[in-house]
């Protein structure tokens, strides 16, 4: 399931919600209970399964333990 980031229009509280796409439609602010939310644009993580080169991860050029010189 993806994580969605929201800002509440009523109280300006920012929060993240780990839910399905259909659950996103029923999201409520955990602070005030309002359903008037704005979804914030955020990045995403890409996790490559298996071994090998970790390109696409946050490797810092050979200093991580799983790095193969990316």
pLDDT digits (tens, 9 = 90+) for 19-70: 998 888 999 999 999 999 999 987 766 677 765 554 444 555 555 655 555 5
Give the number of other Cβ atoms within 10 Å of residue 46's Cβ. Answer: 7
Residue among 15, 33, 16, 35 nearest 25 (CA): 35
Alpha carbons 45 and 27: distance in angstroms, whole number: 22
Find the largest Cα–Cα distance for the chain: 49
Tell me, what's the pLDDT at 64? 60
Taken in order of first residue, the domains within the chain and their CATH numbers are 3-40 (2.20.28)
Contact between residue 6 and residue 35 where contact means Cβ atoms under 8 Å apart: no
């Amino acid at each position: 399931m993806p994580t969605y980031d929201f800002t509440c229009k009523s109280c300006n509280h920012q929060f993240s919600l780990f839910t399905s796409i259909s659950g996103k439609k029923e999201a409520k602010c955990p602070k005030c209970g309002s359903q008037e939310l704005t979804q914030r644009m955020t990045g995403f993580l890409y996790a490559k399964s298996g071994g090998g080169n970790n390109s696409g991860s946050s490797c810092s050029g050979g200093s991580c333990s799983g790095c193969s010189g990316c």
